[in-house]
């Protein structure tokens, strides 16, 4: 099966060089219209490489989102940047595996892909099996905050966002249930949040149809899982790590737990 690379760039010269060079490596270039489209291509397994031009706004956020993915989903991450500051600094700090300096040369691309794929192959062999993640979008006062799901349960989800999640209630969210084309959307209360962007959300409002889809998805996941649990979807699975420094909602987790038991 031919491999694909998701590319986000508006520079014609870079795009032409990338398309030609990737073609020589039998890799299809997918010119993505947005960062969201590129991340979705990566997370659904359609692209194993992500190349982002740092001349575009939001480039750093796209790379940072990709670095949050588990080894089984994480793509080869390449950044296209000029040698001048701040482009180079932003590219380094974003977590990109390699930087392709402008003007992009074919040998740069080939060498970067060869080195990174060798590392990735070794990492995948050594790593344990990870659960598939999905992108989660939160609608906050300043705009849309993207994140990656850590765990999804019947009553809520834990996520890792690129920036701290504000403590608030009735926060609109949406995501695609992993392994499906079903979009889950509704409202959630932030139960806890850390300065590093990790947060626990309690579903405060889901439509009957959305809740039905969620229960069906959870049922399939439970039947396929080898891990046994009396109740794998209880609120305690959404609790923060013991060593994490977090802020809690004013209502407290105990009230959320009681509400969950009543559902």
Residue 237 or residue 48, greater confidence? 48
CATH class for domain 3-126? Answer: alpha beta
Residue 254 has pLDDT above 70, yes or no: no
Q: Per-residue pLDDT for 263 more than 50?
A: no
**Mean pLDDT of the region 33-58:** 90
Q: Work out the pLDDT band at 52, boundaries 50, 70, 90.
A: very high
Domain coordinates in residue numbering, the chain = 3-126, 135-262
pLDDT of residue 247: 77
pLDDT, position 208: 94
Q: Which residue would you say has higher pLDDT here, 239 or 143?
A: 143
Better-scored residue on pLDDT, 151 or 138: 138
Across the range 58-77, mean pLDDT stands at 86
Q: Residue 187 has what pLDDT? A: 97
Interval 202-230 mean pLDDT: 81
87: alpha, beta or left? (left if phi > 0; alpha if psi -120 to 50): alpha
pTM: 0.72
b or e along 119-142 (b: 16 or more beta carbons within 10 Å of the residue's beta carbon)?
ebeeeeeeeeeeeebbbbebeeee
Lowest mean pLDDT among 85-89, 93-97, 110-114, 244-248: 85-89
* pLDDT score at 173: 97
Number of Cβ atoms within 10 Å of the Cβ of 66: 26
First and final CA of the chain: distance in angstroms?
46
Q: Alpha-carbon distance 249 to 26, whole Å?
A: 51
User: Who has greater pLDDT, 241 or 220?
Assistant: 220
**175-183: average pLDDT:** 89
- pLDDT level of residue 1 (50, 70, 90 thresholds): low
Q: What is the pLDDT of residue 45?
A: 85
Percentage of the chain lying above the pLDDT 90 cut: 46
pLDDT range class, residue 85, cuts 50, 70, 90: low
Q: What's the pLDDT tens digit per position in 96-144?
A: 889 999 999 999 999 999 887 766 665 554 444 445 789 999 999 999 9
Q: What is the residue-averaged pLDDT of the chain?
A: 82
Q: What is the predicted pLDDT for the residue at 215?
A: 93
Better-scored residue on pLDDT, 65 or 225: 65
Buried b (16+ CB within 10 A) or exposed e, 223-246: eeeeeeeeeebbbebbbbeeeeeb
Strands 98-101 and 76-81: parallel
Question: Which is higher by pLDDT, 201 or 239?
Answer: 201
CATH number of 135-262: 2.40.10.220
């Amino acid at each position: 099966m031919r491999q694909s690379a998701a590319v986000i760039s508006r520079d014609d010269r870079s795009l032409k060089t990338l398309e030609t060079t990737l073609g020589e490596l039998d890799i299809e270039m997918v010119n993505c219209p947005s960062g969201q489209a590129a991340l979705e291509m990566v997370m659904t397994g359609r692209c194993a490489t992500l190349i982002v031009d740092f001349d575009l706004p939001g480039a750093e956020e796209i790379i940072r989102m990709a670095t949050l993915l588990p080894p089984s989903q994480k793509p080869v991450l390449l950044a296209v940047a000029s040698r001048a500051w701040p482009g180079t600094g932003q590219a380094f700090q974003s977590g990109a595996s390699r930087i392709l300096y402008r003007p992009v040369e074919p040998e740069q691309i080939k060498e970067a892909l060869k080195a990174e794929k060798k590392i990735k192959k070794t990492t995948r062999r050594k790593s344990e099996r990870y659960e598939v993640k999905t992108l989660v979008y939160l609608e906050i006062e300043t705009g849309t905050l993207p994140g990656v799901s850590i765990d999804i349960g019947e009553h809520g989800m834990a996520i890792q966002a690129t920036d701290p999640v504000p403590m608030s209630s009735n926060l609109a969210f949406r995501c695609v249930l992993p392994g499906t084309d079903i979009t889950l959307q509704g409202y959630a209360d932030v139960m806890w949040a850390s300065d590093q962007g990790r947060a626990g959300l309690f579903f405060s409002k889901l439509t009957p149809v959305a809740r039905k889809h969620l229960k069906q998805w959870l049922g399939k996941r439970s039947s396929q899982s080898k891990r046994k649990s009396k109740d794998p979807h209880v609120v305690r699975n959404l609790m923060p790590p013991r060593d994490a420094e977090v802020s809690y909602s004013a209502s407290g987790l105990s009230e959320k737990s009681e509400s969950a038991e009543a559902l």
